[in-house]
Structures are given as structure tokens and as C-alpha cells.
């Protein structure tokens, strides 16, 4: 059975990852994260706005998505917007999440 044709945008993402020699696991995870983003958005991800990215990140936080997972998702989105779409301004609006720092009182 022949492979199903891939639309232009996903193929561009795959090509960008191949050019950078990403592992197959990274390909799988990035495609999964961009796919979920597309589903949440309800339309093509290249039409996303900064406010929509912010809203989706807030929803992830409110849904209890673990910080390492959120970090991985942001990395995938950042790669997609920076390298595949060349929308640097939108990529810069993504919030990087880190584990909360432990404050010590002296």
C-alpha cells in the first residue's frame, strides 16, 4: 500500500527536522505536539496568533500538564514557528517553563 500523501506544512516540518538530523523520537514527539496544537486551535497552526498561543499555554497549566512535558511542547512549537514558518516574533511570545525555584529564607 503506498504512503498517504503528506500536506505541505507537515512535510516542511519533517524536512526541517531531517535537515537538522533530529532523531526519530524527536520527529515523533514534535509531530505529536504540533498535531495536538492544531487540534486545539481548530485550524491550520500557521494562522495562530500570540493570544491563542498564550491561551493554549494557560490551558495546559490549568490542566495540570507536567512541567517537563510543557517544556517539550514549547520546544516543538518554538521550532515550528521559528524554522518551519519563519515567524520569529510569534516564537518569542512562547513562555518557557521551568521547575519552580526553591526559595530559602536566611
Give residue 1's pLDDT. Answer: 44
Q: Is residue 21 part of a domain?
A: yes
Prediction pTM value: 0.82
Q: Is residue 99 part of a domain?
A: no
CATH code of residue 14 = 1.10.150
Q: Is residue 14 part of a domain?
A: yes
Rounded distance, CA 61 to CA 47, Å? Answer: 23
Number of domains the chain contains:
1
Give residue 96's pLDDT. Answer: 81
Measured CA to CA in angstroms, residue 88 lies from 27, 30, 64, 82, 91 at distances of 21, 18, 28, 5, 5
pLDDT in tens, 13-47: 999 999 999 999 999 999 999 999 999 999 999 99
Q: Is residue 50 part of a domain?
A: yes
Q: Is residue 69 part of a domain?
A: yes
Q: Is residue 78 part of a domain?
A: yes
- Give residue 43's domain range: 8-92
Does the pLDDT of residue 105 top 80, yes or no? no
pLDDT in tens, 47-88: 999 999 999 999 999 999 998 899 999 999 999 999 999 999
Q: Is residue 1 part of a domain?
A: no
Does the pLDDT of residue 6 top 70, yes or no? no
Amino acid at each position: 500500500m503506498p504512503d498517504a500523501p503528506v500536506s505541505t506544512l507537515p512535510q516542511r516540518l519533517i524536512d526541517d527536522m531531517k535537515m537538522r538530523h533530529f532523531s526519530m523520537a524527536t520527529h515523533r514527539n514534535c509531530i505529536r505536539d504540533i498535531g495536538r496544537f492544531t487540534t486545539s486551535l481548530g485550524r491550520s497552526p500557521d494562522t495562530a496568533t500570540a493570544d491563542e498561543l498564550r491561551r493554549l499555554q494557560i490551558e495546559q497549566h490549568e490542566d495540570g500538564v507536567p512541567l517537563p512535558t510543557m517544556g517539550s511542547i514549547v520546544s516543538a512549537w518554538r521550532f515550528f514557528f521559528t524554522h518551519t514558518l519563519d515567524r520569529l516574533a510569534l516564537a518569542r511570545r512562547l513562555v518557557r517553563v521551568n521547575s519552580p525555584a526553591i526559595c530559602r529564607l536566611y
